[in-house]
Amino acid sequence: MASSGIAHNSRVEASKDQNYEELKKEHLRAKKLFVDRTFVYNGTVKRPKDISKTPKFISNGMTRADVVQGYLGNCWFMSAAASLTLRPQLLQHVVPPCQDFDCEYAGIFHFRFWQFGKWVDVVVDDQLPLDETGKTLKYGTSTDENEFWMPLLEKAYAKLKGSYEAIDGGFSKNAFVNLTGGIGELIKLRCCDPENLCKRAERALGRNSVMAAGILRESEEGLQGLFNLHSYSVTKIHKVTVEGKKMTLVRLRNPHGETEWTGDWSDDE
């Protein structure tokens, strides 16, 4: 799956007529934290400042290691978000700068997505769903427990689609379009010559496209550490020559943040 480029449409519309700057100023003046009445989660929620003593919106940049899937079948979105970290220019358009928990904090954040031929700015409060323990985030997290840009981005995307349940299952191609405004393409491996596929993938990455790969149907054969019905970020394609034989290696990242490929060229081989 791949999507290239970013739609250069400077106009950004406020989703649900919620203007981020106006709402933030209003709540700073009132010295109140923003509560989004248009997107309510029916469960236990806490703000990052109630979860971490030192919350950070972004800690040491945005990387693919920041993207860890939680108790939601949205690997298709998480793998796309992880791939986007390899293209900082794209990611910074989706995740606007100058957002944090220190200066002028009002409990409000915003993100941009491409929908129906235009960029929309989605505002969210920072109340995040917790699991049954009431202490740990239920959905997306970061490997750094004090960093929150990823769960807030996930919440904004859930709001764009209507609910967290609405993003429980989908295709990375669609997430890439929402994240870039580019053109999405789905390539089925059984319908594509392997050599031609590698060339297409290399050309796509050379054009700064972002990619993901996944297993779209149940299979019990040859998974070797991969999961059925799961999506992975494509983070690199590398050619090597071994004993005179040219080979192409594809590096994948599991949005769960654990469980690796166990076949040839794995850590144990």
Q: What is the mean pLDDT of residues 174-186?
A: 87
Distance between CA 226 and CA 172 in Å, rounded? Answer: 17
Closest CA to 68 of 174, 129, 145, 134: 145
3-state secondary structure of 211: strand
Provide CB contacts within 8 A for 221, sequence distance 6+.
none
Has residue 132 got a pLDDT over 50?
yes
Q: What confidence score (pLDDT) does residue 229 get?
A: 65
Has residue 1 got a pLDDT over 50?
no
Q: What confidence score (pLDDT) does residue 257 get?
A: 59
Exposed / middle / buried, residue 71 (Cβ in 10 Å: 0-12, 13-18, 19+): middle
Per-residue confidence band for 2, with pLDDT thresholds at 50, 70 and 90: very low
Instruction: Give pLDDT tens digits for 206-220.
Output: 777 787 777 766 655
Q: Is 192 a catalytic residue?
A: no
3-state secondary structure of 77: helix
Provide CB contacts within 8 A for 235, sequence distance 6+.
64, 82, 83, 86, 251, 252, 253
Has residue 5 got a pLDDT over 90?
no
Q: What is the mean pLDDT of residues 257-262?
A: 66
Q: What confidence score (pLDDT) does residue 259 get?
A: 65
Contact, 175 vs 77, CB < 8 A?
yes
Q: Is 8 a catalytic residue?
A: no
Name the catalytic one among 27, 74, 75, 178: 75
- 10 Å Cβ neighbour count for 198? 17
Return the residue matching tokens 């609910």.
Answer: 163
Residue ranges of domains in the chain:
2-176
- The DSSP H or E segment spanning 125 is strand 118-125
Has residue 19 got a pLDDT over 60?
yes
Q: Is 256 a catalytic residue?
A: no
- 10 Å Cβ neighbour count for 164? 22
